[in-house]
A and B are shown apart, each in its own frame.
Chain A
Amino acid sequence: MTTLTARGRGHATASSRPRAARRTARLRESLVGWGFAAPNLVLMTLFLFIPIVWALILSLQETKGFGDPEWVGVDNYAKLVGDPVFWQSLANTIVFTIATVPIELAGGLGLAVLLNSVLPARGVFRTIIVLPMVISGVASGMIAVILFYESNGLLNKVLTAIGLGPVAWQSQGVPAMISVVIAAIWLRIGFNMIIYLAGLQNISPELYEAARIDGASRWQQFRSVTVPLVGPSTFFLLIMNVIASFQVFDLIFVMTGGGPGNATSVLVTYAYRNGFQIREQGYGAAIGIVILVITLAFTFIQWKTSRTRDLAE
């Protein structure tokens, strides 16, 4: 008897049970489903959805000292448009992204190909390349501060010894940006390698065999077999890297604090500066909304890619 009811659930239309009973069963499953999801939904509602709406409201207000917030409509956004530091932060964010992402992609693919080939102690090499991923941004930033230290830091000593240095890593904008870019690549290249390694495993060895029979050189094999066939990984990584670069906070906060001047100020650090250091909360919230919109746009693009289609259905 129990067997029958259990089967009936799977093939609802074939069930001989009355419709009312089926409806009750469905309602019960619905309740159970909500029950299972509830703890997570409550947490997310409280600490994500409400703050998102609240941030939107805050961005339409101005807080002065301890006084009540005042409605100012879109003034904060108007201020954004006329704020050169905002535009510089946006430009820096884009420059940082353009500087990091291609190197992360190319480096990750190069390393994946290298560490997918015949090599002694391959596992050790892979472990080392992935290791920076578990190092916190703050600790990495601190190490970078010491390595890039302007007066007698190790890097400048080496650069001086070979006649290239010293470089003004802290007091000049472009070198400061370069130092942050290098640190970010160090942190993220392992992730790119992992994704590409998984992509490479999906390429059938027969394809290389065929290419070799056709007389393709190593480089031609790479160009016409490897690169096209890891295309989905590349697109996935492109989006993930862009999102990560748009959100780089810890490294910049620790290494340069957005300086010198505003040379390494990016959107997230500028939002923090306004929200918590200058304490213009409404303005900080407005910058946050800009970040939110950009992030959602990239998330949406990511959904449209084949790799993640299964999770968005």
Chain B
Amino acid sequence: MAQTTAMLEIAEADLLGPRQAARLRRRRRNRSGDRRGIILRTLIAVVVAAVVVFPLYWMLVVAFSPRGEVFEPGLRLWPSTFTLENFVKVFDRVPVVDWFGNSVVIGVFVTAFTVVVNLLAGYAFARLRFAGRNGIFLLALSTMMIPVQAIMVAQFKLVTGLGIYGTYWGVILPAAAAAFGIFLARQFFISIPDEIIEAARIDGAGHLRIFMQVVLPLCKPLIAVLTLLTLMGSWNDFAWPLIALKDNDLFTLPIGLLYLKNQTSPDYNAIMALALISVLPMVLLFLFFQRYFVQGFARSGIK
């Protein structure tokens, strides 16, 4: 549909093989000497990709190596024996299942709250005229880049004062107060043609009904982008859960990783096993929904 094109622009023009590139390719194929260029470029790309992917490969190696092997003298680029002992150890010694569950629960709640609230606000800022709209929008935007470290002491006191320190809610609510989704949503809603909304109004629909039945079905790509980026942000979040959680069994995976590292003699193989467990869901999501991730990164500039 026409109104979704705004979001799809980048995906179409970008990652998934643009027409323009195909044209260029055809044109270039006739040029002599270009074969060498392609080989050279492919070589560079292979080297760069290998360098970028190597740390992740190393995480796998360490996670599946016998304890301490990677720190023994001598260059070794893969495990001598492939072992699952690090995973067994991690599950034995720390509540991995709880941590994973905490990450999931917090991620789901943060995402649900953030997406709903941002969609509503984005719609208001894009399509409804109300007193103070522009001022509030600018105010909300100006907070977008503020890092938690700037106000964490006050946030900590607030959360303690509200009696939700050390609980799920203490992590979830401040995380759901982010503004970045508002402007993503607003941009999308602005691109919806007036006629569609006018037509619904003529049929006598109120704003809420228009929003639910006309607008939302049009913005599945927006919802996908918002959901994935928010979920990723929450899943990978470190600073705020570090402050807002205290009990071992309520930790999220990143805090659990830190907990393992803070042991007196940290077991790096176990740490990599847990790191792998913590990283895998996001890697899979990314591989399945790459185009949405990329659109989100490109549009919001967050990381």
Contacts and interface: CB of A to CB of B under 8 A. Distances in A.
B151 A198 contact: no
Chain B interface size band reads 35 or more
Q: Label chain A's interface by main secondary structure.
A: helix
Contact of B149 (A136, A139, A247): A247
Interface string A113-147: 01111111011111111111111111110111111
A201 B20 contact: yes
6 contacts: A44-B140, A131-B286, A143-B59, A145-B268, A191-B301, A292-B151
A34 B151 contact: no
Given A29-B129, A130-B294, A275 B152 contact: yes
A312 interface: yes
Contact of B136 (A41, A127, A130, A157): A41
User: 3 smallest A-B Cβ distances: which pairs?
Assistant: A33-B130, A136-B236, A36-B124
B282 A26 contact: no
B204 A51 contact: no
Interface residues of A, number: 114
Interface string A24-44: 001001111111110111011
Contacts of A229: none
B224 interface: no
Given A54-B154, A115-B45, A296-B146, 17 more contacts: A30-B130, A41-B140, A46-B177, A47-B174, A51-B155, A51-B158, A118-B34, A123-B17, A194-B14, A198-B13, A249-B238, A253-B239, A268-B147, A271-B152, A275-B153, A276-B243, A292-B146
Given A47-B158, A195-B298, A312-B141, A132 B173 contact: no
A249 B124 CA distance: 34
A68 interface: no
B72 A152 contact: yes
A229 to B, nearest CB: 15
Interface string A287-311: 0110110011011101000000011
Interface in B254-278: 254, 257-258, 261, 268, 271-272, 275, 278
A119 B38 contact: yes
Contacts of A187: 303
A170 to B, nearest CB: 13
B297 A191 contact: yes
A36 B257 contact: no
Nearest to B290: A127
Interface of B: 10, 13-18, 20-21, 23-25, 28, 34, 38, 41-42, 44-45, 48-49, 52-53, 55-56, 58-59, 62, 70-75, 113, 116-118, 120-121, 123-125, 128-131, 133-134, 136, 138, 140-147, 149-158, 173-174, 176-177, 179, 182-183, 186-187, 198, 201-204, 207-208, 211, 232, 235-236, 238-239, 243, 254, 257-258, 261, 268, 271-272, 275, 278-279, 282-283, 285-287, 290, 293-294, 297-298, 301, 303
A32 B298 contact: no
Contacts of A131: 52-53, 56, 283, 286
Nearest to B31: A212
Contacts of A39: 116-117, 120-121
B120 A40 contact: yes
A303 to B, nearest CB: 8
B25 A244 contact: no
A191 to B, nearest CB: 6
B20 A146 contact: no
Nearest to B268: A146
Interface stretch (A1-9, A77-85, A172-180): A1-9
